[in-house]
Structures are given as C-alpha cells and as structure tokens.
Amino acid sequence: MTTPPPRPGDRRGLTPPVVPPATLFSEGRRSDIAARASRGTLERVRKGVYLAPVDADGPARARRAEVLRQVRAVEARLTTAFWYSHATAAVLHGCTTVRLSPAVHVTQLRAPNADQSRERGLRRHWTALPERDVAVVDGLPVTTLERTVVDCARTLAPDQALVIADSALRGGADLGLIGTIVEESVGKRGVRRAREVVDLADPRAESAGESLLRWIVHDAGLPAVEVGHGVTTRRGDAWLDLAWPDRKVALEFDGAVKYSGGAYGDPARRLFDEKLRQDALEEDGWLVIRVVWDDLQRPEALVARIRSALRSRAPRSRHPL
C-alpha cells in the first residue's frame, strides 16, 4: 500500500475538539450546583459529575458534543488505568465520523467485572496495549491515530470505518503502521473487514460524503474508481471526486455546506462557478453524476444510475456490469 499525493487544497492535520470542563459534586458545592441546575446551565451527566448542556447546531454536532461531555464525565469517575479508544478516540483525535454512537469506548488492561460491563453509556474493551499504540490528546489518554483506525475498522460498519480511516490519513496517520497493526490483529474478530477498509482508505477523499459514496461503489462490485482524478478543461484544472478515466464517467458529491456561504463564499457565485465547471467537463466528453446526501440513503437506486452510466461508456470486453 502506498499513500498517494494529496489533492491541491487538501487540509492536512487534525484539530482535536475542546472537551468541556466538569463540575464535581461536593457538599460545599451543593447549593451552587442546585442553583445552576435549576437555571438550566448545568446538568448531571454521571453520578457526581455535572456539565453545561449541549449547545450545538444540528443532530450530528449534538451527538459529538454529547460524546465529549461523556468523555469528561468518564475521566472524572474511572479509577482504573484506561485509554479512550475506538470511535471515541477518533472523535478526540479530530477525525470525521458518521452515525456516531453515544457510548464512550475505553480500553483497559484487565477484563471488566460484571458491574462494569453493565455500566450505562460506557463500553469497556480490554487488551494489552503496546507503548506504540497509546498517546495523550489534550491531557486525555487515547489510543494512537493508527490503532484507532484499526479498532474502528474491526468493529464499526465498514462505511463508518472508511470515513474515519480517510480522515485519519488526511491528518497524517501512517498507512504502513496501520497495516502492521492489522496484521498483528490476526485471529481477532473483524480483521478481514479491517483489511478491506484499510486497503480502500485514501487521504484524497475530502469529505465524509465522498468516503460513503466510495464504499457504496466498492460494495456494489463496480469497477475500481480513482479518487481525486485531475483533468484539464478549457476553464483550467479540475479535480473530480471519483472517476473512471477510461470511460470518462465521474461522480461528484455535493454536500449542502458547499453552498451555504461562510468560508465557501457567496452561494450564488459558487453555484454559477459549478455550472461553468460542469459545462467545461461535459464539453470535454465527461459524463458527470452528481450525488447528494439523500442519494446515499438509497444505495440501490444510486448504484443503478452509476451502472447505467458506466454501461453507456464501457468499451467492449471490459469489466462486466
């Protein structure tokens, strides 16, 4: 496995999120905590641990914010040695996630007892962790980015795991070390699935939507697709999210945020520029299929569209569709 060069404009590195501070219960704080709770500025998250309410725009951000609250609450309550791991570590490293579970995952060195296994909202894994696989992020113990990718690839749905793996590679994760950890995990549950995810992972995927789309293409058994394919048109260089260059068929994922203004500029201008870009690609012979979030919820219909496009451009005796 080799790591291909990034697409121009790729944002390298990950930004860990801010984990909110907690207020711990004590008799001296009882009245203050009660007053703040009655005003709605403090909530009990775990026994004896209080944090400010979640204030986030949209359900996905709210889920991440809630996981971060639980991370702080777990830190305040656990007394055994542990490391945040799996999807929780992915969040703490700053990786992109989709369909994030509210449970906090930790890895510890000893098997949890019966009471610990039943703790609400806390999933304990246990295994020996080499020094190579542990790190500290913002003062919190976590599994390394590479170990986190493998743990997620072994345990999550593969499309979720691919989103994390792609973003980790964009953030500088060592693909060779990820492969080593996969091979060291032979005999454990989910290793076969992890290999499949890691082999598909690519730092050139620029968003969760692109990663999910690529998994749909892969899972449907369609021909291997190229990520971030560069072309030159009369309007200059363009980068296609996913492409089959031999057939001049491309997939472009359109997330709504791209047209929402802010850092992306004027939405009307953005739409106009996209139209000019599309026109130039079509003049050059490209068939461009545009995909939105809603399409990802109906993969069978989406695959039928893609398959039809590839058939219309397929040279004879090529990949059967």
pLDDT of residue 186: 93
What's the pTM?
0.89
pLDDT of residue 115: 78
Pairing mode, strands 134-137 and 23-24: unpaired
Distance of alpha carbon 131 from alpha carbon 87, whole angstroms? 20
> What backbone torsions phi and psi does residue 244 show, to the nearest 5 degrees?
-115, 90
Alpha-carbon torsion 263, 267, 268, 269, what sign? positive
pLDDT of residue 318: 56
pLDDT of residue 2: 44
Residue ranges of the chain whose pLDDT lies below 70: 1-12, 256-267, 270, 316-321
pLDDT of residue 12: 58
Q: Which residue spans within 59-206 are E strands per DSSP?
A: 82-84, 104-108, 122-126, 134-137, 140-143
Alpha-carbon torsion 41, 44, 49, 54, what sign? negative
The CA-atom distances, in angstroms, between 185 and each of 42, 85, 202 are: 42, 16, 21
Helix, strand, or coil (residue 74):
helix
Axis-axis angle for helices 191-200, 175-184 (nearest 10) = 170
Q: Map out the domains of the chain with their CATH numbers.
A: 23-204 (no CATH), 210-313 (3.40.960.10)
CB 133, CB 83: distance < 8 Å: no
